[in-house]
Structure 1
Amino acid sequence: MERVLTGRHTAANGLLPLYLMRQLRLWQRRLRTRQQLAALDERQLADVGISQSERVEELSKPFWR
């Protein structure tokens, strides 16, 4: 018996590269913004309303979270 792929299955496979590119961009953005957050001094953190403990918590996260 031959198995036939429907359009739904082929469309989902076609979206995989797009999904992967979006994930990579998201991970890059998280890495970049966390690097910028790490570079802020106490005054700048206060200006944006972030405490030192919030910064430490954010910087301890892996890039995929």
Structure 2
Amino acid sequence: MVKTPESQDVDAFTAMEYLRAALDRAGIVLPSLGVDPASPRLGLVELGRVRADVALRLAHALRRGDPAA
């Protein structure tokens, strides 16, 4: 199991860029990916809306990384 940092220890902009890079390697673009400016203390990353085919590609990419898939 990979240990992940606590939510208050993660910079939202850094997390967003890591996610964008990982999605890019999987050939997936989330056009609305960004940091939620309305809640800076919460460090929320906005994933936005995507077309159904993109959601399906994302699900497949996640399942490939899941040992139980």
TM-score computed with the length of structure 2 as normaliser: 0.25
Relative CO higher for 1 or 2, CA cutoff 8 Å, sep ≥ 6? 1
Question: Which is higher, the Rg of structure 1 or of structure 2?
Answer: 1
TM-score computed with the length of structure 1 as normaliser: 0.26
